[in-house]
Chains A and B, each alone.
Chain A
Amino acid sequence: MTSLFKTEQLKKSYVTGDTEIHALRGVTTEIPSGELVVMLGPSGSGKSTFLNILGGLDQPASGKVLFKGKNLANLSDHELTYYRREHVGFVFQAYNLVPSLTALENVALVTEISPNPMDPLEALAIVGLKNRANHFPSQMSGGEQQRVAIARALAKRPEVLLCDEPTGALDSETGIVVLSALMKVNEAYATTTIIITHNAAIASLAHRVIHFSDGMIHHVQINETRKTPQEIAW
């Protein structure tokens, strides 16, 4: 299996006031194409920072981050924009839907600028929200909003789907629905999917689990057998 992402000695730090926080202290790893990857680790261990760099939302301080052999660290802001537009689907922790747009329109916001999108309604159908297409975010529950966010991410048929705590704010049943949707997409379209979570149980769904601690990868675990969302204890 070819690897989609490859990182080498990835470092990133933030300076706030007079303290410097090392969010990433040299992360070297590989993520094969088509896998469902789960990232675990304590709060503040650098998971989001890593994901954001993979997604081209942020630049590393040093090190390499290769997407299909191309180093994202060398890309200009403009090139990164096109990288995100064409290859990456994001699901954010805070949903980040546009409150003044309906579910359908929030999805269309992305399909309009993608080269090879699916019909927004189809994307909503995948997450089971076809009948809520014309509802505004304020009329939906957190889980429903998160599913719209997933539909928005996958509607562009991205090569990689990056999800930062997609179930963090959801109850177990809704979490199962959301996870099932993600797994379905991963299987159906072979979309490489990376999910950050605090729920260790979710790790059993993944092909590969990356454990973070203190800005580094502690270890990587490969699951020989995977559970289904319905099987896991929440």
Chain B
Amino acid sequence: MTPFLSVLNKKLFRDLLNIKGQVAAITLVMAAGIAIFIIMFGVLDSLKLTRDTYYDRYQFADVFASLKRAPEAVKDRISEIPGVSVAQSRVVFGVTLQMESMLEPATGRIISLPDSSPSLLNKLYLREGRMLFPNEENAILADESFVKAHDLSLGDNLTVIMNGYKRTLHIVGIVLSPEYVYSIAPGALMPDSKRFGVFWMSRRSLEAAVNMKGAFNDISIKTERNVPIEAILSQVDSILKPYGGLISFAREDQLSNFFVSNELKQLEGMGSLAPVIFLSVAAFLINVVMSRQIATQREQIGMLKAVGYSNKEVSLHYLKMVLVITVLGSIIGLSLGAWMGSGMTQMYTQFFHFPILKYSFSLEVMILAVFSCTLAAVIGTLFAINKAAKLPPAEAMHPESPAIFKVGLLERIGADQYLSFTSRIIMRQIERRPVRTVMSSVGIAFALSILVFSFFMEDSMEYLMDVQYGITQREDVSIGFVEPKAAKALEEIKTIPGVLMVEPLRNVPVYFKNKHFKKRGSIMGLVSNPLLRRVIDENLAAVTMPNEGIVLNKTLAGILQLKVGDTVEVEILEDKRQTLTISVAAITQEFIGLGAFMNIHQLNKVLDSTPKITGASLLVDQNHSALLYKKLKAIPAIVGLNITSVLRQIFEDIMAENLLKMVATNVIFASFISFGIIYNTARITISERGRELASLRVLGLTRAEVAYILFGELGLITLLSLPIGLFLGYSMSVGMTESMDSELFRIPVYIKNSTYGYAVLIVLLSAIVSFYLVWRQVDSIDLVSAQKGVE
């Protein structure tokens, strides 16, 4: 009935223009809420889709097993297991790498590729160069991350010690494998592409080099869809047992995939809680601001109704106003989200070394984001309109009836006489509208809380590393041997110049079982009261290795559903393959890994007779470290050498690349949202009280006095919000770390005072800037038009 540019629509645009600062701030908050929602879910969905597509296209196997040695014919028996669609046998061999550029030794793994036919499982993605020719000798394909870490290129030679012999191998291709998205050395927790490399070689050549002719020591299996994996695992184990088979395992226990899943899980914990909180905060703000904005239009609503506009027409008018803002916010939020989301997905595919990239920005996520913000806005608006429309127009047209001032708290305690007249106005205002005051404070508290929540992750990671590398792993260097050695090897190491202290380690791969709860892992044997590699309890105090029983960390105990005093069945995955029953002596707190510990003497006793060690923790004289590393590198028996400071660096780098990117995104958006909330709160207070304040000026109050009344109120609201916000922020952080817990590591909630300080500072700065912007606007309104009620 009414033309598009009806007078009412003109009013709408002019009104919007009039409050453009506020429109911009609301739009910003909403856009930020929507964008971060789109970004995080987009990145997570895209990464999962990319991983799944990659695994699928490159035939990542479902089941893996390694063994000592079996004739090739055994493979056919495995292929015949019901439910197995493809089995591929391989030779996998550990080597030592001689890298000129490194002081410490590096290790590697060479994996065979079939000569006669293309590989069926765990196919390689060729990044550069070419694949191998059949039976090609001395040629290898190298994993891209190792090549990058060492700045190698096609055609470079690599010197390896393989089966005791030195050989020079030629890199002909650079590849990526779904099996080694991350190359994690056996027993290591974190990928380290500098110290561990993966290579592929012709099966025939590798067989010849390591005496495995006609035999294999590793097998990958692809199962048919929807067959129970457990049944296949146990059949594979029984076939391979006579050939020194270790327990076979499914994808989820495969090291690289395990790591990828954990990283994704963390991203998910961080990436799904944060946007939900942000979006809720944005929605809350939009709701409050809209309802208050509409409330300031109460007299106009009364007039429109008085001259014959129906409730429906009036509601529609204000809804349009809200929709303009939400549409604007949605468009900006969606485009920003899609743009930043695809950029971030790209960064993450690089971090995860996925050779392909699949975007997945689901329509549902977008609709959900836009819908929840719009709904919040519409509800806030309708609520306010309803309140105004319920009044008979005669009443609505009058300025809200003078508030009923009761004798407030101040008067009752007699404090009023100590306050100036202006201070009393502030206090009465706050007392008169407790709900509004609380809502405003809660809004700003939300702003503060999302800042704390975005910042805390860095503190917590730092704390985690301080504990892990300062209290738990106090050794400078840890070394590992190719094979378990007699305990007297310790004496030899002690004599190397620069070694100040040595402690033995014995690491035994095992399979833990408690009823139907199972987990692959290892037991670490330590001396009773280790000084270097230690186990700590919740109070960060060192735990003594008991003479009897096993010490588990909380996560492992949780997976196995064990408590102190229970017994756990332990299947040893080497040598005699005993199955032991050990009681749980203690449960400890560890942030990283699935630790299980025993007294090394006890471990030696339950396993066999002679004391053995698989490695050692060393305290070294930093002045002699270079020479020491050289000496250690020359000892062929040593395959692994971890320098604690390097480990910490790797950890920090991974964190920086993975989580902290999201943290940074969160911080940016949190800052925007905080500013938006605070500015809006200030702005709304003005539109509600502008006329009253102008009257005070007319009555003769100075600028400073009016400013004091205005900012006194806002200041009190802000101050009130600080403790609430800090508490909310802490609670959100706890929630987030809980949702981020993974088997790989648990993030403690640790927030530095300086972080609280920063968050408060940002809020206060936003408040000051907002107050300034608002004041400029108030100050520019001349008293005359203020009296006429023009805003």
Contacts and interface: CB of A to CB of B under 8 A. Distances in A.
A99 B791 contact: yes
17 contacts: A17-B404, A52-B394, A57-B392, A58-B393, A81-B309, A85-B307, A85-B310, A86-B308, A96-B306, A99-B790, A109-B7, A109-B11, A112-B6, A113-B308, A138-B785, A138-B788, A152-B307
Given A59-B392, A92-B397, A98-B11, A77 B18 contact: no
Contacts of B307: 84-85, 90, 109-110, 152
Contacts of A112: 2, 6-8
Nearest to B401: A16
A92 B788 contact: no
A137 B791 CA distance: 12
B790 A137 contact: yes
Contacts of B305: 81, 84
Interface string B777-791: 000000001001111
A84 B303 CA distance: 12
A157 to B, nearest CB: 13
Interface stretch (A38-46, A100-108, A203-211): A100-108
Given A58-B394, A101-B7, A101-B10, A96 B299 contact: yes
Contacts of A108: 7
B15 interface: yes
A233 to B, nearest CB: 30
A59 B392 CA distance: 8
* Size band of the interface chain B makes with A: 35 or more
How would you classify the secondary structure of chain B's contact residues: helix, strand, loop or mixed? helix
A78 interface: yes
Contacts of B14: 100-101
B789 A99 contact: yes
Contacts of B308: 81-82, 84-86, 88, 110, 113-114, 156
A222 interface: no
A125 interface: no
Interface in B286-306: 299-300, 302-306
Contacts, number: 92
A113 B10 contact: no
User: Which 8 residue pairs across A and B have the least CB separation, nearest first?
Assistant: A85-B308, A100-B14, A57-B394, A52-B394, A96-B303, A84-B308, A138-B790, A58-B392
Interface in B387-406: 392-395, 397-398, 401, 404
Contacts of A100: 11, 14-15, 18
A228 B556 CA distance: 100
Contacts of B755: none
Contact of A78 (B299, B304, B310, B791): B310
A81 B310 contact: yes
Interface residues of A, number: 36
Interface of A: 16-17, 48, 52, 55, 57-59, 77-78, 81-82, 84-86, 88, 90, 92, 94, 96, 98-101, 105-106, 108-110, 112-114, 137-138, 152, 156
Interface string B185-202: 000000000000000000
Contacts of A137: 788, 790
Nearest to A105: B7
Contacts of B788: 99, 137-138
Contacts of A57: 306, 392-394
Contacts of B397: 92, 94, 96
Nearest to A96: B303
B349 interface: no
Contacts of B401: 16
B642 interface: no
A105 B393 CA distance: 21
